[in-house]
Amino acid sequence: MSMISLNELVGSLNDQIYEATPLNPTIRWGEETARLASTGAILTGLDMDTIPEPTLTKEEEFVPFLPPFVENIIGTHDVTVRLVELDSARTSALREKCRRNHITVTVAVDAIFALAHAEAVLLNAAAIGGAHYASTIDAYTKATQWFMPLSCKDQRPSWPTSSSIHHPEGTTLFGTDGFPLQTRMETIRKAVGFSVDTNSLNPCNEEFFWGVVAADMAAAHAAPRKDLAAYVQREREKQAMCKSFHPSSMMVRSPISSSIGHLDGLGLFAKYTPGSSSLTQQYDGKLNCSLLAAAKWNSPAEMDGMEKALREWFDHVIEDTQMVE
């Protein structure tokens, strides 16, 4: 296996060095690192204070779904991890569904994760029962938005002039941006179809998922401005928050997600906060979803419930099984 990997590496390097018609013949071997532009807007040389303040608009009522959590007093480790992997055939099937419905894989996975998250929270709370279940149902029924405070995505496609090492401006080394993601809780409730009386589920059909759930998530992805000025503005806001940040703001059971390859990076949060992390990437034709959560607030049984819900929602979307009309 090591020799196969070495052969692939050497072959790729050889193709890059000796390709017959190089895209940019002015780049000499060893000079490519000089064309890696700064990743952060602060390092671009822009004066942060000259970036105009964003235009404020009147927003609808915002009540995020922040379910309560129970401390797991028998935890024996820091982080509980579950892995959901789709094989090549199922990954291809999901991509084909996304193409047919004009939805990106990233948007579809976020939509599936939102439904699985809501479902798992409800069923896990029902298993615990008592006041915890009652407060969870109260949060679920009163929330107006399913909320993810941090969604990390690769924004290089948003900057086409900086998406290739051969372009005049070079390329960002790691064009990552993190922004909040929120979608209508009314849509989540209809899609999950949870009955408070029977603790049962009545999941939505394919048409509702792609036409409403995924469409809402696509709108949520499109809402944050992703131009350079907006990115710098978000950086300014984060810097301002750091001056008065208090850890208590992280003690909410809200998820974060990333579709970028730094899988272990987001796991650093998991040990200290009750929320869960969804880390998704496509590699070797397969879709991998890593679920990480602090063992102190998420028991193995609760993480099993989250994994089960995520697997079943992938089944619903890919195979259209058990989806009611």
pLDDT at 248: 60
What does each of the 325 residues of the chain score in pLDDT, given as a tens digit?
Answer: 455 565 566 666 666 555 544 555 566 665 655 555 444 544 445 555 555 555 555 566 889 999 988 887 776 677 888 989 999 999 999 999 999 999 999 899 999 999 999 999 999 999 999 999 999 999 999 999 999 887 877 666 666 565 566 666 666 555 666 778 899 999 999 999 999 888 889 999 999 999 999 999 999 988 887 776 777 777 777 666 666 666 666 666 778 777 765 444 555 556 666 677 777 877 778 898 888 888 888 888 999 999 999 999 999 999 864 444 4
Number of compact structural domains in the chain? 1
pLDDT score for 291 = 86
Output 33-36 pairs: Cβ under 8 A, ≥24 positions apart: 35/165, 35/170, 35/171, 36/165, 36/170, 36/171, 36/172, 36/173
> Tokens at residue 22, please?
């190089």
Asked if the structure places residue 324 within a domain, the reply is: no
* 325 falls within a domain: no
Q: Is residue 238 part of a domain?
A: yes
DSSP state letter for 92: H
In degrees, rounded to 5, the angle at the alpha carbon of residue 226 between the alpha carbons of residues 224 and 230 is 85
Specify the pLDDT at position 167: 63
Alpha-carbon distance of 27 to 17, in angstroms, equals 10
d(CA 277, CA 294): 10
Q: Look at residue 126 and tell me if it is in a domain.
A: yes
SS3 assignment, position 281: strand
pLDDT at 175: 60
Residue 163 structure tokens:
């998406």
Residues comprising the chain, all counted? 325
Cβ atoms of residues 124 and 305 within 8 Å: yes
pLDDT at residue 323, rounded to an integer:
46
Q: Which amino acid is at 136?
A: T
134 in any annotated domain: yes
Can you read off the two tokens belonging to residue 304? 């099993």
CB contact set of 244 (below 8 Å; sequence gap of 6+): none
Q: Would residue 256 count as lying in a domain?
A: yes
Q: What is the pTM of this model?
A: 0.75
CATH of the domain at 263: 3.30.559.30
What residue numbers bound the domain in which 178 lies? 2-319
99: in domain: yes
CA torsion, ordered 58, 61, 65, 67, to nearest 10 deg: 120
Q: Give yes or no for a contact between 180 and 206, defined as CB atoms under 8 angstroms apart.
A: no
